[in-house]
Structure 1
Amino acid sequence: MDNGVFEPTTVGMPQGGVFFPLLANIALNSLDWHLDEHGLRFVCYADDFVVMCRSHT
């Protein structure tokens, strides 16, 4: 919405698209591998992820 006028999206993937979770998994696969190789705990769902770590203070 710009100045109160709705502009429909004409590019990109729509939210809730059926292919987006698959594409996100393909794109983020190397991140998953890297985090796992370094012993970091993480939770992923589509393009959302949380990395859990401990602080050494």
Structure 2
Amino acid sequence: MAHRFEIWKDKAGGFRVRFKYNSETLFSTEGYSSKASAQNAIEPIRKSGPDAPTEDNS
């Protein structure tokens, strides 16, 4: 699979989510105190991501 979400534990002990495409990290989230909160952060991205508009600021 070329793209995926990863949940990982940061140095401070918080849980974060990062989105990778072809092993390159495109973005990561803020730290969450629980793994469940990190998992919940993924759903809104999945729901709204494909229909997100493109903003050209060039």
> Highest Rg: 1 or 2?
1
TM-score where L is the length of structure 1? 0.32
Structure with greater strand percent: 2
Structure with greater helix percent: 1
